[in-house]
A and B are shown apart, each in its own frame.
Chain A
Amino acid sequence: MLQYILKRILVMIPTLLVTSALIFTVINLPEGDYFETLAAEMQAQGEKADLSRIEFLKKEYGFDKPPVERYFWWVTGLLQGDMGYSFEYQRPVREIVGDRLMLTMVVSFVTIIVTWLIAFPIGIYSATHQYSWGDYGLTFLGLIGLAIPHFLLALVFMYAANVWFGTSIGGLVDPQYLNQPMSWAKLWSILEHLWIPVIIIGAGGTAGMIRAVRANLLDELQKQYFVTARAKGLPPGKALRKYPLRMSLNFFVSDIGDILPSIVSGAEIVAIVLSLQTTGPLLIRALQSQDMYLAGSFLMFLSFLTVIGVLISDISLAILDPRIRLQGTATK
């Protein structure tokens, strides 16, 4: 087992290196750079961009050097924990991302928990009451959540919340609480806003998870061991919890790998529509304006979390299901 974990960790190093090269290349692919984009935007609304000033800034930030050299600067910086400098915000990337990370994690955690709380009971109910009215009804609801585009749902919810409850549109808190220390009133205001992104971001995930729990559980319910257990007189609830439910958790554990980065990145599009001050809009904005160290370092951070997440899910899978562990060693 220890050897297995060690191997998995060693594989992470080249993976991350390749990822970093890919990220850097892709960000550099569009012609021009941040300063040219900035000049273009300024000119688009009649402002003048001083060309010599732009040249000056480019030199200032090393854009006169070849890309390969810049890549090495960046990667060595990353290794030392320096995520680089954001042109747009004029501050180190770490400070900018740090400010928003907390809020993103709150939204994501609450969403994930809510998704689980809704999806598991429904999934179990649907599986154990297959083809019943309840099964159909709940599945239908879930599929609606999956089918409606998130941004549309977000707009409808925001409008409704504003007209019915007077909640301010977008954001995670009423404007008067921005830049204020946390207080009960502010917390209440956050809760008042939080349910919208949670429901919207959760809607698709819930539906997917309901289907997965239902399908996996149904498979197990038809297997011999469950039939035997029931035949031996084990009460239905206990029989369900003790065997098939555990077996159906495989998919759920392997999903953890994806959860970690999604906690940090949040749901970008929904966050933009809802104007949430999370990391998602920051990343997209950075990509648009070619604020390359902000975008690159942030993507790198996400890749790192993905790799860690996959590692965790691999390890827990190996613990949960011996078949995986054995197969893993047998083929190698």
Chain B
Amino acid sequence: MNGFPRKPSRRAALALGSAAIAAAGLPRLALGQQQTPLRLVDSPFFAKQVADGTLPPVVQRAPTSPRIITVSGDGREAGRHGGTMRMLMGDQRDIRMMTIYGYARLIVYDDNLELASDILEGFDVEDGRIFTLKLRPGHCWSDGSPFTTEDFRYWWEDVANNKRLSPGGPPQALIAAGKPPTVEVLSPTEIRYSWDAPNPVFLPSLAGAQPAYIYMPSGYLKQFHERYADKATLSSRVKTARVKDWGSLHERMSRMYRPENPELPTLDPWRNTTPLPAEQFTFLRNAYFHRIDQNGLQLPYVDQVTLTIGTNSLIPAKTAAGESDLQARYIRFDNYTFLKDASKRMNIDVKLWKRAEGAWFALMPNLNAIDPVWRDLNRDVRYRRALSVAINRKDVNKVIFFGLAKESGNTALPESPLYDARQAGLWMEQDKTLANRLLDEIGLVKRDLEGIRLLPDGRRLEFTIETSGESTEETDILDLIKQDLVAVGVKIYPRSTQRDVFRRRILAGQTIMSAWVGMDNALVAPEMEPDALAPTSASQFNWPRWGQFLESSGREGEEPDMPEVKELVRLYHAWRRSATHEQRRQIWRDMLRINAEQLFTIGIVNGTLQPVVVSRTLRNVPDKGLYSFEPGAFFGRYMPDTFWFDPSKAQV
């Protein structure tokens, strides 16, 4: 790289820069490389501002080495600038969906679920513990201020390690073996984080749908920081905002995940321009966005996105009336026929994407139930297996999902590199004889006149399965399962409650069994944290108290005392210390195997379908996709900034 002129022209640097990266073998610029120099094309949206000089031309706005996106394949083609994408949301807080859909991260998951740089030009890892991040030169925030390592330093020194702003210290993703990293600013575009022990969570946390932000727009935020701002101005700002002190003010002004502050500069494709509360939020294109398509058009293609806030139960109806150009949130599979019918009249198409939970519906035997008889029974693997093989999953799939889902345990999906068909089918086939034999083996042989088995203390083997009462499908499935279980002498009563009550009862051990979704993310890869497979959180309904124990570092909850669960905890900790890909894959495999054999959660179906409603004029939205928060960021992995409007496609 030494042969290059020190200050190349932007165009030359663009071409040479990307070639050099390819040659140097740095991590890929994700989707593709462009060898010929690009002529950058600006959206007509900014034409007036550029002409009257209030905004620099696009050549000066884009980073010197932007991320070149080759939009192609799978019915996708390079598009044109323009248009407003309308979406419907149910709540003010949903503006964070724009941060999720935009999916501009330092590092992102690419098509193969591998980590690739996005905002970063590249990154370098040594021993799994020294990370050097390299920024794109000339990259700017949406307000035009430079995005440099100063923004990382500001966050690290003045936010993460500031007692007022982060009383709990830096976030968990930056703690390895109990210690924070050493942070060195190498140059305005290079920064290094090094730990004494490997930190496998660091990179995945940057690529998350809800990312760890390790940078903040320092240029803007310094005016709210005690260390930099003028005392008098700051105190008058605190007064006008009616907050307690500068800390609260900084906290409010600096939210990046939920872009509530229209003034806060961003790196996302669109920036919010509407303050809270509003009925409609307008997001305008970020003039300094770092992605460029193969024809030199600065992304996003779409100039404007509007989020109209309304009652969420009305969203399917409003979508059917053609009031949204891209909608999946608040739409469920049972709206499909209605939407399909509407698509005959309106300018919309309904696509079916696949959901990526490990189980759309799973039974969660509470291993921490307070009733000792039930707790012991729930902890008996034979009992869990007996329940699992008593269930006729085929019927559930046929009746509720028209046979379009997949009968499977709560485990990785076939699209995941860690998928194992044997694990997905383990204890999943209906086998009444086996179920009866297992229950007899436990000693539940006595039955009452109705044929219901009796517990050792004489009570009937009957219990309620609680749901959070959010969809009728849950209770329908339970009604089907009820028949299967009665056939082997187990009686269940489905009961739906309200979500808060539901959670509290489970955590208190009053619930014997509940129904909930399985692993949120079943598109797993070895680089992702296996926290869903071991007790790590109080919101895991099969072992809430054990999860609480780990989550609170032993201050609350109970220490796991089952050997298999202890093993899972050990493996989880081993993953947190692992340095190589190979180690991580092995740990993942072991954890998935234990979970599949032990059936700590009894999955019923997964791979259910998610309707995605797309305006016919909106191009590049894939026909088939995977819909999930992690790791796809819903639409994020398909890059909504490459979606574009083609008026010629309109037809009613």
A and B interact: yes
A residues touching B (Cβ–Cβ < 8 Å)? Answer: 30-32, 37, 40-41, 43-48, 50-53, 55-56, 60, 85, 88-92, 96, 99, 158-159, 162, 168-171, 175, 178-179, 272-275, 277, 281, 285
Task: Determine chain B's interface SS by DSSP, over half rule.
Answer: loop
Contact, CB under 8 Å: A89 / B278: no
**Which of B138-146, B310-318, B568-576 forms part of the interface with chain A?**
B310-318
Contact, CB under 8 Å: A273 / B168: no
Point out the residues of chain B lying under 8 angstroms from A90, CB to CB.
252, 260, 276
Give the number of chain B interface residues (Cβ < 8 Å).
49
- Please list 6 pairs of residues, one from A and one from B, whose beta carbons are closer than 8 Å in the complex, sorted by A's number: A46-B521, A50-B172, A56-B166, A90-B252, A175-B323, A178-B308
Contact, CB under 8 Å: A170 / B314: yes
Contact, CB under 8 Å: B323 / A32: no
Cβ contact of B499, chosen from A44, A48, A99, A272, cutoff 8 A:
A44
Cβ contact of B311, chosen from A31, A40, A41, A170, cutoff 8 A:
A170
| A64 → chain B closest CB, angstroms | 12
Contact, CB under 8 Å: A48 / B210: yes
Contact, CB under 8 Å: A50 / B171: yes
Tell me whether B80 is interfacial, beta carbon within 8 Å.
Answer: no
Tell me whether B161 is interfacial, beta carbon within 8 Å.
Answer: no
Using A30-B500, A46-B629 as known contacts, say yes or no to A170 and B280 having CB atoms under 8 A apart: no
Contact, CB under 8 Å: B314 / A169: yes
Question: How many Å lie between the Cα of A91 and that of B537 in the bound state?
Answer: 32
Using A44-B499, A88-B93, A175-B306 as known contacts, say yes or no to A56 and B168 having CB atoms under 8 A apart: yes
Question: How many Å lie between the Cα of A159 and that of B167 in the bound state?
Answer: 52
| A165 → chain B closest CB, angstroms | 12
Contact, CB under 8 Å: B323 / A169: yes
The 8 residue pairs across chains A and B that have the minimum distance between CB atoms:
A52-B168, A275-B310, A46-B520, A178-B280, A46-B629, A275-B311, A43-B539, A169-B318
| A219 → chain B closest CB, angstroms | 43
Contact, CB under 8 Å: B310 / A171: yes
Point out the residues of chain B lying under 8 angstroms from A99, CB to CB.
277
> Which of A162, A169, A285 is the most central at the interface, judged by chain B CB atoms within 10 Å of its CB?
A169
Point out the residues of chain A lying under 8 angstroms from B504, CB to CB.
31-32
Tell me whether B630 is interfacial, beta carbon within 8 Å.
Answer: yes
Q: Residues 243-270 of chain B: 1 if any A CB is under 8 Å from the residue's CB, otherwise 0?
A: 0100010011000000010000000000
Cβ contact of B277, chosen from A37, A46, A91, A159, cutoff 8 A:
A91
Using A90-B260, A277-B279 as known contacts, say yes or no to A47 and B314 having CB atoms under 8 A apart: no
Point out the residues of chain A lying under 8 angstroms from B628, CB to CB.
46
Contact, CB under 8 Å: A46 / B630: yes
| A185 → chain B closest CB, angstroms | 16
Cβ-closest chain B residue relative to A38: B93
Point out the residues of chain B lying under 8 angstroms from A277, CB to CB.
279
Contact, CB under 8 Å: A88 / B86: no
Task: Give chain B interface residues in 313-348, CB to chain A under 8 Å.
Answer: 313-314, 317-318, 321, 323
Question: How many Å lie between the Cα of A106 and that of B436 in the bound state?
Answer: 66
Tell me whether B503 is interfacial, beta carbon within 8 Å.
Answer: yes
> Which of A44, A53, A90, A281 is the most central at the interface, judged by chain B CB atoms within 10 Å of its CB?
A90
Question: How many Å lie between the Cα of A175 and that of B325 in the bound state?
Answer: 13
Cβ-closest chain A residue relative to B306: A175
Question: How many Å lie between the Cα of A159 and that of B317 in the bound state?
Answer: 8
Using A53-B168, A175-B308 as known contacts, say yes or no to A37 and B500 having CB atoms under 8 A apart: yes
| B630 → chain A closest CB, angstroms | 6
Question: How many Å lie between the Cα of A230 and that of B552 in the bound state?
Answer: 85
Tell me whether B7 is interfacial, beta carbon within 8 Å.
Answer: no
Question: How many Å lie between the Cα of A302 and that of B312 in the bound state?
Answer: 26
Point out the residues of chain B lying under 8 angstroms from A158, CB to CB.
317
Cβ contact of A45, chosen from B242, B537, B552, B629, cutoff 8 A:
B629
Question: How many Å lie between the Cα of A88 and that of B276 in the bound state?
Answer: 10
Question: How many Å lie between the Cα of A45 and that of B260 in the bound state?
Answer: 20
Cβ-closest chain A residue relative to B470: A44
Tell me whether B416 is interfacial, beta carbon within 8 Å.
Answer: no
Contact, CB under 8 Å: A170 / B310: yes
Contact, CB under 8 Å: B500 / A171: no
Cβ contact of A169, chosen from B260, B317, B539, B629, cutoff 8 A:
B317
| B212 → chain A closest CB, angstroms | 10
| A28 → chain B closest CB, angstroms | 14
Contact, CB under 8 Å: A60 / B244: yes
Contact, CB under 8 Å: A170 / B318: yes
Question: How many Å lie between the Cα of A15 and that of B306 in the bound state?
Answer: 46
Point out the residues of chain A lying under 8 angstroms from B282, CB to CB.
179
Question: How many Å lie between the Cα of A99 and that of B629 in the bound state?
Answer: 33
Point out the residues of chain B lying under 8 angstroms from A171, CB to CB.
279, 308, 310
